[in-house]
Structure 1
């Protein structure tokens, strides 16, 4: 059997005396959408942050393409995230001083892509997601749904191998949430990216190939295949 694209094994992490992860395990393959579900405070976002190399577990290993992320330096993990990973958060977290186009182009610019090329690729994704008309606007002047689509474009513009989506529909109404999830799952499958989705909503998890459930604040995982 081939090794998963990304996997976490026996992950433990505590915040002071409070355990957040206790032996968590998760794997995901290229082109797969996996939903991590559980109540608020169950450790969903903590697990995502460990798998993305944002936070190191106290023990256990996280492997990406065969490399143990816990053995890398902070700079090496930061470079890996910039080159290989995309992120979508609940409230978009667009930079308010930049235009929508500049926000979407930001990962490419940070990676050294020239402005003209980066913004051309950003415009292509904005057009793909149906919000080309707000490319020159600032985040404060667009709707929440448009902002979340812009955040999705930013996550996908660098053609990442893994997209981490933390409650990406939490700030949207049901219609907007369905639209964003449809776009995310379609775009990920078109590009072959793996999507790790954190949510507490069953209607959002329904877009995933598998569910991983964090129960009662523990990190005992139950996988549900669709």
Structure 2
């Protein structure tokens, strides 16, 4: 899937942590609404690539653009604002706030952007229903299963209407049945909302949900050009 102006474009990214290179010329283009799976062995640089694309980590060299706007030259405050409003995040262990209820966790991105509590929690309840975890609303993260927690995390990632969702091993801590359910609901909700998804995984069953697969090896990328 290609467009004249990609949503995200990374060109020739290099990133090292001390003497250890994580990226050594990685490139990637993501179209609006596309689901891209980033695969590779442990230590290949796939999570570093994801963090660079999301504006969490700055590359040492190379260029990243989002909707034609340079992320590599943006200030920290500009990147922070972008992550709050245009990007959504889902990680392996959900990273839900343990002191908050699941409803409050999902509403949190809206609250941080200034939405009033009642309106934010009403939208959060809608997203919990959409991800089939409405019954967790009053519970805290420690009171629900891992699969439920990842669906709550997916609701939180999507509630702001992001243009891009970055998911780092979202099913890595789940059994196959719960992993399948999370992926089905995440991909369906993302496609319905028009969000692109960049998904880091080592699981070929998870990658099968993607429109395209990118393999990262030794800090470099290879597009498998897989279309489903």
- Does the TM-score normalized on the shorter chain lie above 0.5? yes
2:109 match: secondary structure: helix
Secondary structure of the corresponding residue to residue 197 of structure 1: strand
Contact 2:147 2:174 in 1 (8 A): yes
Shift of 1:129: 1.1
Over residues 179-201 of structure 1, what are the superposed CA-to-partner deviations in whole Å (9 max), with x where a residue is unaligned? 11111111111111100000001
CA deviation string 1:140-161 (max 9, x = no partner):
0111111010000000111100
Mind listing any 5+ residue stretches in structure 2 that lack a counterpart?
Answer: none
Q: Which residue of 2 aligns with 1:150?
A: 152
**Contact preservation (8 Å) 1:22, 1:220:** no
> 1:1-226 counterparts in 2 under 5 A?
2-215=4-217, 217-226=218-227
Distance (whole Å) between structure 2 residues aligned to residue 13 and residue 43 of structure 1 = 9
CA–CA separation in structure 1 for the residues paired with 2:164 and 2:14? 22
Structure 2: distance between partners of 1:187 and 1:29: 17
Partners of 2:25 and 2:219 within 8 A in 1: no
3-state SS, counterpart of residue 55 of structure 2: coil
Q: Which sections of structure 1, spanning at least 5 residues, go unmatched? A: none
Provide the secondary structure at the position in 2 that maps to 1:20. Answer: strand
Q: How high is the TM-score relative to the length of structure 2?
A: 0.97
Deviation at 1:3, TM superposition (A): 1.3
Calculate the aligned-residue CA RMSD, in Å.
0.9
User: The residue matched to 2:90 in structure 1 has which SS?
Assistant: strand
Q: TM-score, normalised by structure 1?
A: 0.98
